[in-house]
Chains A and B, each alone.
Chain A
Amino acid sequence: MKWIGALLFISATTWLGFEWSNKLTRRPKHIRQLINALQTLEAEILYSQLPLHDAFSSIARQIPEPCASFFQLVADRMIEKNSYFETVWNESVTTYKESSSLGENEKEILLQFGRTIGQHDFTQQQKHIQLTIKHLERELQDARDEQDRYGKMAKNLGFLTGLFIVLLLI
Protein backbone atom coordinates (compact mmCIF):
# COMPACT_ATOMS: atom_id res chain seq x y z
CA MET A 1 0.00 0.00 0.00
CA LYS A 2 2.82 2.31 0.97
CA TRP A 3 4.58 1.58 -2.35
CA ILE A 4 1.51 2.34 -4.40
CA GLY A 5 1.17 5.67 -2.61
CA ALA A 6 4.81 6.48 -3.18
CA LEU A 7 4.54 5.62 -6.90
CA LEU A 8 1.47 7.77 -7.24
CA PHE A 9 3.20 10.65 -5.50
CA ILE A 10 6.28 10.41 -7.70
CA SER A 11 4.26 10.26 -10.89
CA ALA A 12 2.28 13.31 -9.78
CA THR A 13 5.40 15.40 -9.13
CA THR A 14 6.95 14.16 -12.38
CA TRP A 15 3.85 15.25 -14.25
CA LEU A 16 4.06 18.65 -12.59
CA GLY A 17 7.68 18.94 -13.65
CA PHE A 18 6.82 18.09 -17.25
CA GLU A 19 3.99 20.60 -17.22
CA TRP A 20 6.33 23.30 -16.00
CA SER A 21 8.90 22.50 -18.62
CA ASN A 22 6.19 22.46 -21.28
CA LYS A 23 5.11 25.88 -20.25
CA LEU A 24 8.68 27.06 -20.53
CA THR A 25 8.94 25.68 -24.08
CA ARG A 26 5.58 27.05 -25.13
CA ARG A 27 6.16 30.59 -23.94
CA PRO A 28 8.77 31.56 -26.57
CA LYS A 29 6.62 29.90 -29.18
CA HIS A 30 3.60 31.95 -28.22
CA ILE A 31 5.56 35.17 -28.07
CA ARG A 32 6.90 34.49 -31.54
CA GLN A 33 3.36 33.92 -32.75
CA LEU A 34 2.34 37.22 -31.28
CA ILE A 35 5.23 39.02 -32.97
CA ASN A 36 4.23 37.45 -36.28
CA ALA A 37 0.68 38.57 -35.73
CA LEU A 38 1.75 42.14 -35.05
CA GLN A 39 3.90 42.17 -38.16
CA THR A 40 0.91 41.02 -40.16
CA LEU A 41 -1.17 43.70 -38.50
CA GLU A 42 1.35 46.31 -39.54
CA ALA A 43 1.14 45.15 -43.13
CA GLU A 44 -2.64 45.11 -43.06
CA ILE A 45 -2.76 48.61 -41.70
CA LEU A 46 -0.08 50.16 -43.88
CA TYR A 47 -0.58 48.41 -47.18
CA SER A 48 -4.13 47.11 -47.29
CA GLN A 49 -5.43 49.99 -45.15
CA LEU A 50 -8.04 47.67 -43.71
CA PRO A 51 -10.15 48.82 -40.79
CA LEU A 52 -9.04 47.27 -37.53
CA HIS A 53 -11.90 44.85 -37.39
CA ASP A 54 -11.15 43.37 -40.82
CA ALA A 55 -7.42 43.38 -40.08
CA PHE A 56 -7.96 41.33 -36.91
CA SER A 57 -10.20 38.84 -38.68
CA SER A 58 -7.68 38.37 -41.44
CA ILE A 59 -4.85 37.87 -38.92
CA ALA A 60 -6.95 35.31 -37.09
CA ARG A 61 -7.15 33.29 -40.29
CA GLN A 62 -3.40 33.36 -40.85
CA ILE A 63 -1.88 32.38 -37.54
CA PRO A 64 -2.15 29.28 -35.35
CA GLU A 65 -4.03 28.95 -32.05
CA PRO A 66 -4.24 30.32 -29.37
CA CYS A 67 -3.28 33.67 -30.88
CA ALA A 68 -5.88 33.26 -33.61
CA SER A 69 -8.76 32.97 -31.23
CA PHE A 70 -7.56 36.04 -29.36
CA PHE A 71 -7.71 38.22 -32.45
CA GLN A 72 -10.99 36.67 -33.50
CA LEU A 73 -12.42 37.38 -30.06
CA VAL A 74 -11.39 41.03 -30.22
CA ALA A 75 -12.76 41.35 -33.76
CA ASP A 76 -16.09 39.80 -32.81
CA ARG A 77 -16.52 41.86 -29.68
CA MET A 78 -15.55 45.13 -31.35
CA ILE A 79 -18.61 45.22 -33.53
CA GLU A 80 -20.97 44.46 -30.71
CA LYS A 81 -23.18 47.34 -29.78
CA ASN A 82 -21.86 49.74 -27.20
CA SER A 83 -18.46 48.21 -26.78
CA TYR A 84 -15.71 50.40 -25.48
CA PHE A 85 -12.59 49.27 -27.26
CA GLU A 86 -10.37 49.48 -24.20
CA THR A 87 -12.65 47.21 -22.15
CA VAL A 88 -12.92 44.72 -24.97
CA TRP A 89 -9.18 44.67 -25.49
CA ASN A 90 -8.34 44.33 -21.79
CA GLU A 91 -10.80 41.51 -21.23
CA SER A 92 -9.64 39.69 -24.33
CA VAL A 93 -6.01 40.00 -23.28
CA THR A 94 -6.84 38.50 -19.87
CA THR A 95 -8.62 35.58 -21.50
CA TYR A 96 -5.75 35.16 -23.91
CA LYS A 97 -3.18 35.07 -21.15
CA GLU A 98 -5.05 32.33 -19.37
CA SER A 99 -5.41 30.18 -22.46
CA SER A 100 -1.77 30.55 -23.48
CA SER A 101 1.62 30.38 -21.79
CA LEU A 102 2.26 34.10 -21.87
CA GLY A 103 3.59 35.75 -18.74
CA GLU A 104 2.61 38.85 -16.83
CA ASN A 105 5.09 41.03 -18.77
CA GLU A 106 3.61 40.15 -22.13
CA LYS A 107 0.16 40.89 -20.81
CA GLU A 108 1.32 44.32 -19.70
CA ILE A 109 2.87 45.01 -23.11
CA LEU A 110 -0.33 44.00 -24.84
CA LEU A 111 -2.46 46.14 -22.57
CA GLN A 112 -0.29 49.12 -23.34
CA PHE A 113 -0.47 48.39 -27.03
CA GLY A 114 -4.27 48.31 -26.81
CA ARG A 115 -4.36 51.89 -25.67
CA THR A 116 -2.58 53.09 -28.80
CA ILE A 117 -4.16 51.03 -31.52
CA GLY A 118 -6.51 52.77 -33.92
CA GLN A 119 -5.96 56.15 -32.32
CA HIS A 120 -3.17 57.48 -34.51
CA ASP A 121 -2.21 58.07 -38.09
CA PHE A 122 -0.18 55.66 -40.17
CA THR A 123 3.32 56.67 -39.14
CA GLN A 124 2.54 56.83 -35.45
CA GLN A 125 0.59 53.61 -35.61
CA GLN A 126 3.56 51.95 -37.27
CA LYS A 127 5.87 53.26 -34.58
CA HIS A 128 3.65 51.89 -31.84
CA ILE A 129 3.53 48.49 -33.50
CA GLN A 130 7.32 48.49 -33.92
CA LEU A 131 7.77 49.44 -30.30
CA THR A 132 5.50 46.65 -29.14
CA ILE A 133 7.37 44.20 -31.34
CA LYS A 134 10.66 45.39 -29.81
CA HIS A 135 9.32 44.86 -26.31
CA LEU A 136 8.07 41.42 -27.21
CA GLU A 137 11.41 40.50 -28.77
CA ARG A 138 13.12 41.33 -25.52
CA GLU A 139 10.66 39.12 -23.68
CA LEU A 140 11.26 36.42 -26.25
CA GLN A 141 14.97 36.53 -25.50
CA ASP A 142 14.27 36.22 -21.79
CA ALA A 143 11.86 33.39 -22.37
CA ARG A 144 14.44 31.55 -24.45
CA ASP A 145 17.11 31.96 -21.80
CA GLU A 146 14.73 30.67 -19.20
CA GLN A 147 13.85 27.72 -21.36
CA ASP A 148 17.50 26.84 -21.89
CA ARG A 149 18.26 27.18 -18.23
CA TYR A 150 15.29 25.49 -16.64
CA GLY A 151 13.70 23.43 -19.43
CA LYS A 152 15.58 20.19 -18.87
CA MET A 153 16.00 20.77 -15.19
CA ALA A 154 12.25 21.18 -14.66
CA LYS A 155 11.57 17.67 -15.94
CA ASN A 156 14.22 16.10 -13.73
CA LEU A 157 13.38 18.26 -10.79
CA GLY A 158 9.79 17.03 -10.73
CA PHE A 159 10.83 13.42 -10.57
CA LEU A 160 13.64 14.01 -8.11
CA THR A 161 11.56 16.12 -5.72
CA GLY A 162 8.98 13.36 -5.69
CA LEU A 163 11.63 10.79 -4.97
CA PHE A 164 13.20 12.92 -2.28
CA ILE A 165 9.96 13.48 -0.37
CA VAL A 166 9.07 9.80 -0.66
CA LEU A 167 12.41 8.84 0.76
CA LEU A 168 11.97 11.30 3.60
CA LEU A 169 8.56 9.92 4.44
CA ILE A 170 9.49 6.26 4.36
Chain B
Amino acid sequence: MEEILRLFPGEIQYAIKKGVGYRWDKLQEIRVRLHQPIELIFDNGIEWITQASPSKKDNTFIINQLSEFSLYRMEDELREGYITIEGGHRVGLAGKVNTVNGSVKAIQYITFLNIRIAKEKIGVATKVIPYLYKNKFLNTLFVGSPQSGKTTLIRDVIRIISTGWNHIPPQKVGVVDERSEIAACLKGIPQHNLGIRTDVLDACPKAEGMMMMIRSMSPEILVVDEIGSDKDVQALINAINAGVTVICTIHGQNLQELKNRPSILPLLEKKVFSRIVLLKGQTSPGSIQSIYDENEKNIYQKMGGLPNEVDRGTSLHKRDDMARI
Protein backbone atom coordinates (compact mmCIF):
# COMPACT_ATOMS: atom_id res chain seq x y z
CA MET B 1 0.00 0.00 0.00
CA GLU B 2 3.10 2.15 -0.24
CA GLU B 3 1.84 3.61 -3.52
CA ILE B 4 -1.18 5.08 -1.73
CA LEU B 5 0.59 6.20 1.43
CA ARG B 6 3.23 8.07 -0.51
CA LEU B 7 0.55 10.48 -1.71
CA PHE B 8 0.10 11.92 1.75
CA PRO B 9 2.35 14.23 3.75
CA GLY B 10 4.03 12.81 6.84
CA GLU B 11 1.46 13.48 9.52
CA ILE B 12 -1.59 12.39 7.56
CA GLN B 13 0.31 9.42 6.23
CA TYR B 14 0.98 8.29 9.77
CA ALA B 15 -2.64 8.84 10.80
CA ILE B 16 -3.95 6.81 7.89
CA LYS B 17 -1.45 4.04 8.49
CA LYS B 18 -2.62 3.86 12.07
CA GLY B 19 -6.28 4.14 11.16
CA VAL B 20 -6.19 1.36 8.62
CA GLY B 21 -3.87 -0.95 10.49
CA TYR B 22 -3.94 -4.44 8.98
CA ARG B 23 -7.21 -3.97 7.16
CA TRP B 24 -5.92 -2.87 3.78
CA ASP B 25 -7.69 -5.76 2.10
CA LYS B 26 -11.03 -4.54 3.44
CA LEU B 27 -10.45 -0.88 2.54
CA GLN B 28 -12.52 0.37 -0.38
CA GLU B 29 -12.04 4.11 -0.44
CA ILE B 30 -10.11 6.91 1.19
CA ARG B 31 -11.92 10.21 0.82
CA VAL B 32 -10.07 13.45 1.36
CA ARG B 33 -11.81 16.80 1.63
CA LEU B 34 -10.21 20.14 2.33
CA HIS B 35 -10.47 21.09 6.01
CA GLN B 36 -12.56 18.00 6.79
CA PRO B 37 -11.57 14.81 8.57
CA ILE B 38 -10.46 12.00 6.30
CA GLU B 39 -13.02 9.31 5.62
CA LEU B 40 -12.10 5.65 5.33
CA ILE B 41 -14.67 3.32 3.81
CA PHE B 42 -14.26 -0.34 4.63
CA ASP B 43 -16.32 -3.27 3.42
CA ASN B 44 -18.19 -3.22 6.68
CA GLY B 45 -18.54 0.43 7.55
CA ILE B 46 -17.16 3.95 7.63
CA GLU B 47 -14.43 5.32 9.86
CA TRP B 48 -13.13 8.83 10.29
CA ILE B 49 -9.66 10.08 10.95
CA THR B 50 -10.33 13.20 12.94
CA GLN B 51 -6.85 14.11 14.11
CA ALA B 52 -5.68 14.99 10.61
CA SER B 53 -7.74 17.23 8.38
CA PRO B 54 -5.80 18.33 5.32
CA SER B 55 -4.94 22.01 5.01
CA LYS B 56 -4.45 23.75 1.71
CA LYS B 57 -0.76 22.99 1.86
CA ASP B 58 -1.40 19.28 2.37
CA ASN B 59 -3.84 19.34 -0.52
CA THR B 60 -1.21 20.82 -2.81
CA PHE B 61 1.19 18.17 -1.59
CA ILE B 62 -1.20 15.37 -2.52
CA ILE B 63 -1.89 16.86 -5.92
CA ASN B 64 1.80 17.37 -6.53
CA GLN B 65 2.41 13.73 -5.72
CA LEU B 66 -0.42 12.65 -7.99
CA SER B 67 0.82 14.71 -10.91
CA GLU B 68 4.57 14.39 -10.30
CA PHE B 69 4.57 18.15 -9.63
CA SER B 70 3.34 18.71 -13.16
CA LEU B 71 -0.35 19.43 -13.34
CA TYR B 72 0.05 20.54 -16.93
CA ARG B 73 0.57 16.94 -17.98
CA MET B 74 -2.77 15.92 -16.52
CA GLU B 75 -5.01 17.71 -19.00
CA ASP B 76 -6.96 14.63 -20.07
CA GLU B 77 -7.18 13.31 -16.56
CA LEU B 78 -8.47 16.59 -15.22
CA ARG B 79 -11.13 16.64 -17.88
CA GLU B 80 -12.19 13.08 -17.15
CA GLY B 81 -12.11 13.68 -13.42
CA TYR B 82 -9.90 10.84 -12.37
CA ILE B 83 -6.25 9.84 -12.29
CA THR B 84 -5.02 6.28 -12.37
CA ILE B 85 -2.01 5.68 -10.16
CA GLU B 86 0.44 2.85 -9.77
CA GLY B 87 -1.24 -0.35 -8.73
CA GLY B 88 -4.38 0.45 -10.71
CA HIS B 89 -5.89 2.57 -7.96
CA ARG B 90 -8.21 5.29 -9.10
CA VAL B 91 -8.23 8.80 -7.70
CA GLY B 92 -11.46 10.66 -8.38
CA LEU B 93 -11.31 14.45 -8.38
CA ALA B 94 -13.80 17.20 -7.75
CA GLY B 95 -13.61 20.92 -7.18
CA LYS B 96 -14.02 23.99 -9.29
CA VAL B 97 -14.66 23.11 -12.91
CA ASN B 98 -13.48 25.24 -15.82
CA THR B 99 -15.56 25.15 -18.95
CA VAL B 100 -14.99 26.16 -22.52
CA ASN B 101 -18.10 26.60 -24.68
CA GLY B 102 -20.12 24.75 -22.13
CA SER B 103 -18.03 21.59 -22.07
CA VAL B 104 -15.70 20.70 -19.24
CA LYS B 105 -12.11 21.73 -19.82
CA ALA B 106 -10.47 20.93 -16.54
CA ILE B 107 -10.92 20.85 -12.81
CA GLN B 108 -9.03 23.84 -11.53
CA TYR B 109 -9.12 23.86 -7.76
CA ILE B 110 -9.05 20.24 -6.72
CA THR B 111 -10.50 20.13 -3.24
CA PHE B 112 -12.17 16.73 -3.07
CA LEU B 113 -10.31 13.51 -3.64
CA ASN B 114 -11.57 9.99 -3.58
CA ILE B 115 -8.94 7.28 -3.64
CA ARG B 116 -10.56 4.06 -4.71
CA ILE B 117 -8.49 1.06 -3.86
CA ALA B 118 -8.25 -1.40 -6.71
CA LYS B 119 -8.64 -5.00 -5.83
CA GLU B 120 -7.70 -7.62 -8.28
CA LYS B 121 -9.48 -10.88 -7.63
CA ILE B 122 -7.38 -13.45 -9.41
CA GLY B 123 -9.25 -16.68 -10.04
CA VAL B 124 -12.86 -15.44 -9.87
CA ALA B 125 -13.48 -16.44 -13.45
CA THR B 126 -12.32 -20.05 -13.22
CA LYS B 127 -15.91 -21.14 -12.65
CA VAL B 128 -17.18 -19.36 -15.75
CA ILE B 129 -14.46 -20.23 -18.22
CA PRO B 130 -15.62 -23.80 -19.00
CA TYR B 131 -18.94 -22.43 -20.19
CA LEU B 132 -17.33 -19.99 -22.56
CA TYR B 133 -15.45 -22.59 -24.54
CA LYS B 134 -16.81 -24.96 -27.12
CA ASN B 135 -14.15 -25.89 -29.70
CA LYS B 136 -13.28 -22.20 -29.57
CA PHE B 137 -14.08 -19.33 -27.29
CA LEU B 138 -17.63 -18.12 -27.84
CA ASN B 139 -19.03 -14.61 -28.16
CA THR B 140 -20.05 -13.75 -24.66
CA LEU B 141 -22.06 -11.00 -23.01
CA PHE B 142 -21.80 -10.34 -19.29
CA VAL B 143 -24.93 -8.75 -17.87
CA GLY B 144 -25.14 -7.21 -14.43
CA SER B 145 -26.15 -4.17 -12.48
CA PRO B 146 -23.49 -1.63 -11.40
CA GLN B 147 -20.99 -2.99 -8.89
CA SER B 148 -22.01 -6.58 -9.57
CA GLY B 149 -18.42 -7.41 -10.41
CA LYS B 150 -18.65 -7.48 -14.19
CA THR B 151 -15.37 -5.75 -14.78
CA THR B 152 -13.53 -7.82 -12.20
CA LEU B 153 -14.88 -10.96 -13.77
CA ILE B 154 -14.06 -9.94 -17.31
CA ARG B 155 -10.55 -8.97 -16.22
CA ASP B 156 -9.95 -12.43 -14.89
CA VAL B 157 -11.46 -13.98 -18.01
CA ILE B 158 -8.91 -12.00 -20.04
CA ARG B 159 -6.11 -13.19 -17.80
CA ILE B 160 -7.12 -16.82 -18.11
CA ILE B 161 -7.61 -16.71 -21.87
CA SER B 162 -4.34 -14.97 -22.57
CA THR B 163 -2.27 -17.17 -20.27
CA GLY B 164 -3.88 -20.38 -21.48
CA TRP B 165 -6.24 -22.64 -19.64
CA ASN B 166 -6.07 -26.41 -19.29
CA HIS B 167 -5.06 -27.76 -22.68
CA ILE B 168 -6.05 -24.60 -24.52
CA PRO B 169 -3.05 -22.53 -25.57
CA PRO B 170 -2.98 -18.80 -24.84
CA GLN B 171 -4.95 -16.69 -27.28
CA LYS B 172 -4.26 -13.21 -28.57
CA VAL B 173 -6.56 -10.87 -26.68
CA GLY B 174 -7.26 -7.28 -27.63
CA VAL B 175 -8.80 -5.03 -25.00
CA VAL B 176 -10.45 -1.72 -25.86
CA ASP B 177 -10.51 -0.07 -22.48
CA GLU B 178 -12.47 3.13 -22.93
CA ARG B 179 -12.85 3.91 -19.24
CA SER B 180 -9.48 2.46 -18.22
CA GLU B 181 -11.21 0.14 -15.83
CA ILE B 182 -10.25 -3.27 -17.15
CA ALA B 183 -6.52 -2.78 -17.37
CA ALA B 184 -6.17 0.44 -15.36
CA CYS B 185 -3.31 1.58 -17.55
CA LEU B 186 -0.71 4.03 -16.28
CA LYS B 187 1.14 5.55 -19.25
CA GLY B 188 0.04 2.59 -21.33
CA ILE B 189 1.21 -0.05 -18.90
CA PRO B 190 -1.57 -2.23 -17.47
CA GLN B 191 -1.57 -2.15 -13.69
CA HIS B 192 -3.56 -5.35 -13.44
CA ASN B 193 -2.51 -8.81 -14.47
CA LEU B 194 -4.04 -9.44 -17.87
CA GLY B 195 -1.91 -12.37 -18.94
CA ILE B 196 0.90 -12.54 -21.45
CA ARG B 197 -0.91 -12.24 -24.78
CA THR B 198 -3.04 -9.20 -24.12
CA ASP B 199 -2.84 -5.89 -25.98
CA VAL B 200 -4.64 -2.88 -24.58
CA LEU B 201 -5.96 0.21 -26.30
CA ASP B 202 -6.34 2.51 -23.34
CA ALA B 203 -8.91 5.31 -23.10
CA CYS B 204 -10.00 4.77 -26.68
CA PRO B 205 -13.62 5.20 -27.79
CA LYS B 206 -15.03 1.70 -28.20
CA ALA B 207 -16.53 1.97 -31.66
CA GLU B 208 -13.35 3.27 -33.23
CA GLY B 209 -11.11 1.25 -30.98
CA MET B 210 -12.58 -2.07 -31.96
CA MET B 211 -11.88 -1.46 -35.64
CA MET B 212 -8.42 -0.10 -34.88
CA MET B 213 -7.62 -3.17 -32.85
CA ILE B 214 -8.80 -5.56 -35.57
CA ARG B 215 -6.87 -3.72 -38.24
CA SER B 216 -3.65 -3.32 -36.35
CA MET B 217 -3.29 -6.04 -33.72
CA SER B 218 -5.18 -9.00 -35.24
CA PRO B 219 -6.69 -10.22 -31.98
CA GLU B 220 -8.41 -13.58 -31.72
CA ILE B 221 -10.52 -12.35 -28.85
CA LEU B 222 -11.71 -8.79 -28.47
CA VAL B 223 -12.83 -7.51 -25.09
CA VAL B 224 -14.82 -4.31 -24.49
CA ASP B 225 -16.47 -2.85 -21.46
CA GLU B 226 -19.99 -1.44 -21.13
CA ILE B 227 -21.44 -1.39 -24.62
CA GLY B 228 -24.55 0.68 -24.98
CA SER B 229 -24.86 3.09 -27.89
CA ASP B 230 -25.90 2.25 -31.43
CA LYS B 231 -22.41 2.99 -32.62
CA ASP B 232 -20.93 0.45 -30.22
CA VAL B 233 -23.38 -2.18 -31.38
CA GLN B 234 -22.59 -1.48 -35.02
CA ALA B 235 -18.88 -1.83 -34.39
CA LEU B 236 -19.52 -4.97 -32.40
CA ILE B 237 -21.39 -6.63 -35.25
CA ASN B 238 -18.65 -5.59 -37.65
CA ALA B 239 -16.06 -7.12 -35.37
CA ILE B 240 -17.93 -10.38 -35.04
CA ASN B 241 -18.32 -10.60 -38.78
CA ALA B 242 -14.61 -10.02 -39.12
CA GLY B 243 -14.10 -13.36 -37.44
CA VAL B 244 -13.13 -12.14 -34.02
CA THR B 245 -14.62 -13.53 -30.84
CA VAL B 246 -16.07 -10.69 -28.78
CA ILE B 247 -16.47 -10.65 -25.04
CA CYS B 248 -18.22 -7.64 -23.56
CA THR B 249 -20.22 -6.40 -20.62
CA ILE B 250 -23.43 -4.41 -20.35
CA HIS B 251 -25.50 -2.88 -17.58
CA GLY B 252 -28.76 -4.65 -16.91
CA GLN B 253 -30.72 -6.80 -14.52
CA ASN B 254 -32.09 -9.56 -16.74
CA LEU B 255 -32.63 -10.58 -20.33
CA GLN B 256 -36.06 -9.02 -20.57
CA GLU B 257 -34.64 -5.67 -19.63
CA LEU B 258 -32.01 -5.91 -22.34
CA LYS B 259 -34.64 -6.70 -24.93
CA ASN B 260 -36.39 -3.48 -24.04
CA ARG B 261 -33.37 -1.51 -25.14
CA PRO B 262 -33.69 -0.73 -28.83
CA SER B 263 -29.97 -0.59 -29.48
CA ILE B 264 -29.31 -3.97 -27.90
CA LEU B 265 -32.32 -5.84 -29.26
CA PRO B 266 -30.82 -6.57 -32.70
CA LEU B 267 -27.85 -8.21 -31.01
CA LEU B 268 -30.10 -10.62 -29.18
CA GLU B 269 -32.38 -11.21 -32.14
CA LYS B 270 -29.52 -12.05 -34.42
CA LYS B 271 -28.23 -14.42 -31.76
CA VAL B 272 -24.83 -12.81 -31.89
CA PHE B 273 -23.89 -14.00 -28.45
CA SER B 274 -23.55 -17.70 -27.87
CA ARG B 275 -23.29 -17.19 -24.16
CA ILE B 276 -24.95 -14.62 -21.94
CA VAL B 277 -23.75 -14.58 -18.36
CA LEU B 278 -26.12 -13.01 -15.86
CA LEU B 279 -24.64 -11.79 -12.60
CA LYS B 280 -26.48 -11.80 -9.34
CA GLY B 281 -26.01 -8.21 -8.29
CA GLN B 282 -24.63 -5.94 -5.65
CA THR B 283 -25.28 -8.17 -2.67
CA SER B 284 -22.85 -10.83 -3.79
CA PRO B 285 -20.39 -9.30 -6.27
CA GLY B 286 -19.01 -11.65 -8.86
CA SER B 287 -21.41 -14.54 -8.32
CA ILE B 288 -23.30 -15.89 -11.28
CA GLN B 289 -27.02 -16.28 -11.50
CA SER B 290 -27.35 -18.01 -14.81
CA ILE B 291 -25.62 -18.57 -18.11
CA TYR B 292 -27.75 -18.71 -21.24
CA ASP B 293 -26.79 -20.16 -24.59
CA GLU B 294 -27.95 -18.60 -27.87
CA ASN B 295 -31.39 -20.16 -27.49
CA GLU B 296 -31.80 -18.54 -24.08
CA LYS B 297 -31.57 -21.89 -22.35
CA ASN B 298 -29.93 -21.83 -18.96
CA ILE B 299 -26.92 -24.10 -19.03
CA TYR B 300 -25.46 -23.03 -15.71
CA GLN B 301 -25.15 -25.77 -13.16
CA LYS B 302 -24.62 -24.83 -9.59
CA MET B 303 -21.20 -26.08 -8.82
CA GLY B 304 -20.09 -27.72 -5.66
CA GLY B 305 -22.11 -30.71 -4.53
CA LEU B 306 -24.29 -30.86 -1.51
CA PRO B 307 -22.44 -31.60 1.69
CA ASN B 308 -21.92 -35.32 2.26
CA GLU B 309 -23.10 -36.12 -1.22
CA VAL B 310 -21.77 -39.53 -2.22
CA ASP B 311 -22.85 -40.25 -5.73
CA ARG B 312 -19.94 -40.14 -8.09
CA GLY B 313 -19.86 -37.63 -10.85
CA THR B 314 -22.46 -35.27 -9.52
CA SER B 315 -19.96 -32.67 -8.71
CA LEU B 316 -17.57 -30.98 -11.05
CA HIS B 317 -15.41 -29.99 -8.12
CA LYS B 318 -12.98 -32.64 -7.03
CA ARG B 319 -12.97 -31.52 -3.46
CA ASP B 320 -16.70 -32.06 -3.13
CA ASP B 321 -16.56 -35.41 -4.81
CA MET B 322 -16.96 -38.04 -2.12
CA ALA B 323 -17.01 -41.10 -4.36
CA ARG B 324 -13.47 -42.20 -3.86
CA ILE B 325 -13.06 -41.61 -0.23
Contact = CB atoms under 8 A, between A and B. Distances in A.
A34 to B, nearest CB: 20
B61 interface: yes
Q: Which of A81, A85, A118, A120 lies at the interface centre, i.e. has the most chain B CB atoms within 10 A of its CB?
A: A118
Interface stretch (A44-52, A103-111, A137-145): A44-52
A51 B69 contact: yes
Contact of A53 (B9, B13, B61, B68): B68
A49 B73 contact: yes
A121 interface: yes
Contacts of A122: 72, 75
B6 interface: yes
A11 interface: no
A63 interface: no
Interface residues of A, number: 20
A51 B68 contact: yes
B60 interface: yes
Contacts, number: 51
B69 A118 contact: yes
Contact of A45 (B57, B60, B67, B72): B72
Given A84-B61, A85-B60, A118 B72 contact: yes
Interface residues of B, number: 18
Contacts of B68: 51-53
Interface in B35-81: 57, 60-61, 64, 67-73, 75, 78
B10 interface: yes
A55 B73 CA distance: 12
A85 B57 CA distance: 10
Nearest to B105: A121
B72 A121 contact: yes
A160 interface: no
Nearest to A56: B69
A78 interface: yes
Interface of A: 45, 49-53, 55, 78, 81-82, 84-86, 117-122, 125
25 contacts: A45-B70, A49-B72, A49-B73, A51-B67, A51-B68, A51-B69, A52-B69, A53-B69, A53-B70, A78-B69, A81-B6, A82-B10, A82-B13, A84-B9, A84-B57, A84-B60, A84-B61, A85-B61, A86-B57, A118-B69, A118-B71, A121-B72, A121-B75, A121-B78, A125-B72
